[in-house]
Structure 1
Amino acid sequence: MDTIRTGMPLLARHEGEWVGEYIHVDANNVELDRHASHLQCMFKDEGPYPYYQINTYSWPDGRREEIHFPATYKDKQIWWDTDRIFGRAWEVDDKTVMLTWTRKDSPGTYLYEMIQLSEDGNDRGRTWHWFENDKLVKRTCITERRVK
């Protein structure tokens, strides 16, 4: 039986807690936003969502946002269909996970993300490309370190 851990062994290496920083820039690389992040990547043996991620963002002015991303697993991919996004992730090679998703609150917008995991599994770099009506409008650069 193909389980998420056997079908996506690289993704399984992301299990744990990560802290980092998100930097959003526009298409001309002008900084739009910068904030701290804490992500929890969990694999569940029971229930409808074998993958569950909680993203907590915090800004220097005290704002805070927590978002839950439960995902199903099928055909060596994880799939999200939440009130916020619809998308999927798949492994490209032994270091790279790709994602694509649409924002349900923003018709015509879609994103692609690439995640690179270090050999020791303790650091990762992520980049997002935001498109609106097929035009690149923003990028997000994320650096993270495993803390648990």
Structure 2
Amino acid sequence: MSRILAIDYGRKRTGIAVTDTMQIIAGGLTTVATNELLDFILKYIKEEPVECIIIGLPRQMNNEVSESMQYIRPFINNLRKKIPDMTIELVDERFTSVLAHRTMLEAGLKKKDRQNKSLVDEISATIILQTYLESKRY
């Protein structure tokens, strides 16, 4: 089997998570500068088998997409041009940052570590990926 890659897209930084090859466990991979994201993904999928890419869909409480989508849409379009055969799916990312902070608290991370925005982005991507995996199981 191949991996599933998840992206928590941000204007400055983007968190990335990936499954194991059996697609059972979601784990944080890294955080990259958003302007380097496309190159990172293209390089990663050359080195590792990736079945699909999951991207966090920013929604507001009223279920409308948030203004962040204006930055994500062009990225998705560019990604589809570069790798047209890759499946790209969007997953609701509401509350992922809140859940990431809660996860960090429950893990006992120190305040300084919890303020690490890159770590929050990576954990958020992991939560997006875990949400996707759970939706596929049911």
Indicate whether the TM-score tops 0.5: no
Scaled by the length of structure 1, what TM-score is found?
0.29
Query: Between Structure 1 and Structure 2, which shows a larger proportion of strand residues?
Result: 1
Higher relative CO (Cα under 8 Å, sequence separation at least 6) belongs to 2
Q: Which entry has the higher C-alpha Rg, 1 or 2?
A: 1
Q: Which has the higher helix share?
A: 2
